[in-house]
Amino acid sequence: MTAKRTRLILLLGAALGASACAAQTAAPAPFDTKPVAKLSEPWAMTFLPDGRLLVTEKKGKLKLVTQDGRISDVSGAPAVDYGGQGGFGDVVLHPKFADNGWIYLSYAESGDGDKRGAAVARAKLSLDDKGGGALSELAVIWRQEPKISGRGHYGHRIAFAPDGHLFISSGERQHFDPAQDMKSNLGKIVRLNDDGSLPKDNPFADQGGVAAQVWSLGHRNPLGLAFDGAGKLWNVEMGPKGGDELNLVVRGDNYGYPVVSNGDHYDGKEIPDHSTRPEFHAPAVSWTPVISPSSFIIYTGKPFADWNGDGFIGGLSSKALVRVEFSGDSAKEAARYDMGERIREVEQGPDGNLWLLEDQMNGSGGRLLLLTPKAAAAK
């Protein structure tokens, strides 16, 4: 038995024990869960200033949902390449949306032949007096390069930094090596101006081409981006067979995939651990068995006051909401709440309550859920 295999077995045992402890702390969950609406393959959501939600549905629909569950259509959404992990992705508002009306959308788009890639577009949102809305001036401001075959690992989560820069996570599309190739923006986190133009102070700006977009590299399938109260960027990403990650994202750093990972390939081929290559930035938290992270926020509200500054991760295969505590540049899993369905998205509402989107697979899930504190909820 190899040293890596022995270490993995020990890790599995330790992680299973940690999961059991987390499950005990989550029973009962310190919140009440209320189903609000049923959607068709929802993927992402964001809140408008009036408290309504924009929700993307994977097949290409953009919905406007009230907090009491009424659903309307928003016309003008882009055409998407639906299939596998592909389709409609993220939706976020410009930080000055109330003044300029811009929203940002990510999605998988078709290319030549059997190729495809993620794209990010921005558009103006107008709301009508009948409860619906429409998009106009839709324009693509970023694309994955190159478009390649397959329908996995788009990533395409979007977040605005406190200084107004636009960050986009870009998966390596299950092709491994592009994550280390600076002629590609796959397997990277990129930083742009809000119109898609390139900031002159990006770490690889002097290389030109797509390298000038790159903020960090060596990522696999990054599916959550969030800034903490100190302005530091964190991401969650799916590992291969083991090794899901929570990372502190540092300007210009290389996170090692596929050269290193705390998991292995699905075919059983071993990948060296992060500890074997200290030049690569190791994760703050690594999960084996995996939680399958889908989304990520850092909480700043009042209803769950004891959780202020904690991270929340939506879990797919784990069917969980995972709470993470931070201490400077370190982090740890604090609790895991069993939700009974795959969780595709977690967001904080305007009043500080938590909202979840269930993933929809095999006829189950797809609900919009509201989480509110139980009277005796405590950290």
The residues annotated as belonging to the active site are 153
Residue 340: count of CB within 10 angstroms of its CB: 11
Q: In this structure, are strands 102-110 and 221-227 parallel, antiparallel, or unpaired?
A: unpaired
Q: In this structure, are strands 71-75 and 133-143 parallel, antiparallel, or unpaired?
A: parallel
> Among 345, 310, 327, which residue's Cα sits nearest to residue 30?
310
> Among 173, 169, 261, 279, which residue's Cα sits nearest to residue 215?
169
- Whole-angstrom Cα distance, residue 224 to residue 235? 5
| 3-class DSSP state of 98 | helix
DSSP state of 21: H
Query: For the chain, what's the residue count?
Result: 379
Is the separation of the CB atoms in 81 and 108 below 8 Å? Answer: yes
Q: Which residue has the tokens 């986009």?
A: 168
CA distances from 67 to 45, 58, 72, 313 (A): 12, 21, 12, 22
Contact partners, residue 319, CB within 8 Å, separation at least 6: 338, 339, 340, 341, 342, 343
Is the separation of the CB atoms in 369 and 34 below 8 Å? Answer: yes
> Among 369, 373, 376, which residue's Cα sits nearest to residue 303?
373
